Amino acid sequence: MLRLLSVNFRGLTEHKTLLGLNFSTSSVMAKSKFEYVRNFELDDTCLRNCYIVVRLDGRNFHKFSEQHNFMKPSDNRALGLMSRSARSVMEELEDITIAYGQSDEFSFVFKRSSTWFKRRASKLMTHVTSQFSSSFVYYWKEYFGEQPLLYPPSFDGRVVLYPSNRNLRDYLSWRQADCHINNLYNTTFWTLVQKGGLTTTQAEERLSGTQAADKNEILFSEFNINYSNESPLHKKGMTLIWEKVNETTTKLIKRPDEGETEINVTRTRKKVTSHSCDIIGDQFWEEHPDILESDQC
């Protein structure tokens, strides 16, 4: 037995277990000669006291939307699926305080005090991306019915840090302003094609060099469309936040000499809610002061 120990002592923890020995791991387990490769790993811990934003973008979604016959200029089924997938991410990672999405992108904001995955950028990004992508596939039928998913979509992700509340608000304002610009263009473009009879090339040429006022004028004067009346979902995008909501359920209770009686029970719980509203101005942030954390370190 002693001979066996002397031969197999170097790093073979299986023998330690088989022989019923109780040596400490640090004294018995020798490092593998291959373990040096860990030195190639980079420290990607996100700076403390900063909001961590993970932004996802659909890869080749122009092709994906065409092959899956998305409606133009906006497909509410696809937008609903994007929002549902984002809600799945927030429900999995409760340190995400707000998420904003438009078209084929979504941004997830982790609170500045978050310690999820030890604030490692790669862990946060890959977890958000994989959860979102798998949810997109999982909930596809809920929004597209019997229309088949021809192939799985893919999303790429990036991580950006914002040190102050103003920086974070400006980032989200930038994304919502981008939503408005893109939607106005797409609305005018596809109106020229679908109602004006232009080809896509002709519509592109018609809109080349135009400003927002020009596009609004085309919609109103030629097609009697007031862009202000377009859906807030298309103009403002999707904002998801945590809110306290009251939920009422009916329960059956048994009372002496009275039999079973139905009573309504109301309880409050936190839930991810969706909004299509302005997040550039102050009103939204004043109504939801718990989203942002103090700028005081």
Consult the annotation and say whether 60 binds a ligand: yes
Is 59 annotated among the ligand-binding residues?
Answer: yes
* Residues written for the chain: 297
Give the rounded distance of the alpha carbon of 185 from its chain centre.
25
Q: Is 104 annotated as a binding residue?
A: yes
Burial class, 238, CB count within 10 angstroms (exposed 0-12 / middle 13-18 / buried 19+): buried
Q: How far is CA 42 from CA 38, 39, 122, 192, in A?
A: 9, 8, 10, 51
Cβ-based neighbour number of residue 15 at 10 Å = 16
* 178 annotated to bind ligand: no
In Å, what is the CA distance from 33 to each residue of 5, 11, 16, 111, 287? 21, 10, 20, 40, 58
Q: How many CA atoms lie within 13 A of 175 on its CB side?
A: 24
How many CB atoms are located within 10 Å of the residue 25 CB?
8
Residue 58 marked ligand-binding: yes
**43 has binding-site annotation:** no
Q: Would you say 103 is a known binding-site residue? A: yes
Does the annotation place 62 within a ligand binding site?
A: yes
CB 157 within 8 A of CB 125: yes
In the chain, DSSP assigns E strands to 51-58, 96-102, 105-110, 155-162, 238-255, 259-275
Pick out the residues of the known binding site for Mg(2+). 57-58, 104
Pick out the residues of the known binding site for GTP. 57-62, 103-104
Pick out the residues of the known binding site. 57-62, 103-104
